[in-house]
Amino acid sequence: MSNSGIVRVGISGWTYPPWRGVFFPKKLAHNRELEFASNTFRTIEINGTFYSLQRPSTFQVWADRTPEDFVFSVKASRYVTHMRRLREIEVPLANFFASGILKLGDKLGPILWQFPPNFKYSPALLDDFLRLLPKNTGEAVRLGKQHDARVDGRSFLETDRNRRLRHAIEIRHASFVVPQFIALLRKYKVALVCADAVEWPRLMDVTSDFIYCRLHGSKELYASGYGNKAIEQWAQRVTTWATGGDAKDGDFASTKKAAKRKTRDVYVYFDNDAKVRAPRDAKKLQARIAELLS
């Protein structure tokens, strides 16, 4: 199975005190935790960007402390998704893209847009939102220039070359489980997050040329670990996606399959952080996928 897309398995966040002395070596300086984690995994999901606008200097530090082939995914601002609920968001979007994420350069991976559990599917609202999302870094620069005073004096709007931007949407309400939603994501080439959780739909519809998975813990949200059987199931799914196929054992909102591809890139993030399960499970899945693709 050497003919596959790039598979990156990682963790959601990296600053968790219970990990110190367990996943992280004892006496490792806190400011070296990202360096250690990024040399263990090929990708990490940034959580801090969800809660507040970061600064360009912060993104620069994150870029400098990670290996050359490393990629971050960036969790987009909850101000857009949870507070504004996708309404009147042109300026909030501009603030987010002006806040410094372009400092990551080649290390900027997918941007994750997580919707709240009580947010229902609205075709027109979602279409407007997807139309606003920049498709590349050049569009992100142009959008970011519309920022307001919140990022005055602390913005970064440069790109050394025009890179494609990848977007992924995580839904948490059953109203999204309709074929029209899948068709809309395919229209804009936005990935549907395959979220493994107890309370939300776990859809495996392929809507873009990449796959984005978030493994929250299928028995207890943010806490359940993944045993050998579950790791094997996810390893099989990931290798199927990476080699251009569709998962056979999941739930789907649409009977229409995605266009055939030889390969797809796959991003998988463990978000079951209780008792250091996330890094342990991520290492197990990473190793098993490497075996299957060798």
| Highest-pLDDT range among 70-84, 243-257, 263-277 | 70-84
Task: Note whether 30 and 288 are within 8 A (CB).
Answer: no
| pLDDT on residue 275 | 61
Centre a 10 Å sphere on the Cβ of residue 10 and count the other Cβ atoms it contains: 26
The reported pLDDT for the residue numbered 1 is 44
Q: What residue ranges define each of the domains in the chain, with the CATH number in brackets? A: 7-293 (3.20.20.410)
- Residue 197's pLDDT band, with cuts at 50, 70 and 90, is confident
pLDDT in tens, 155-184: 999 999 999 999 999 999 999 999 999 999
**Distance in Å from the first CA to the final CA of the chain:** 6
Q: How confident is the model at residue 256 (pLDDT cuts 50, 70, 90)?
A: very high
pTM across the whole model: 0.96
Confidence grade of residue 199 (pLDDT, cut at 50, 70, 90):
confident
Q: What is the pLDDT of residues 135-160, one digit of tens each?
A: 999 999 999 999 999 999 999 999 99
Q: Quote the pLDDT of residue 2.
A: 57
Mean pLDDT for 231-248 is: 96
The closest alpha carbon to 161, from 133, 138, 135, belongs to 138
286: Cβ–Cβ under 8 A, 6 or more apart, which residues?
9, 41
Beta strands across the sheet bearing 194-197 = 191-192, 167-170, 108-114, 71-75, 43-46, 7-12, 265-270, 210-217, 194-197
| Between 250 and 35, the higher pLDDT residue | 35
Find residue 110's DSSP bridge partners.
none
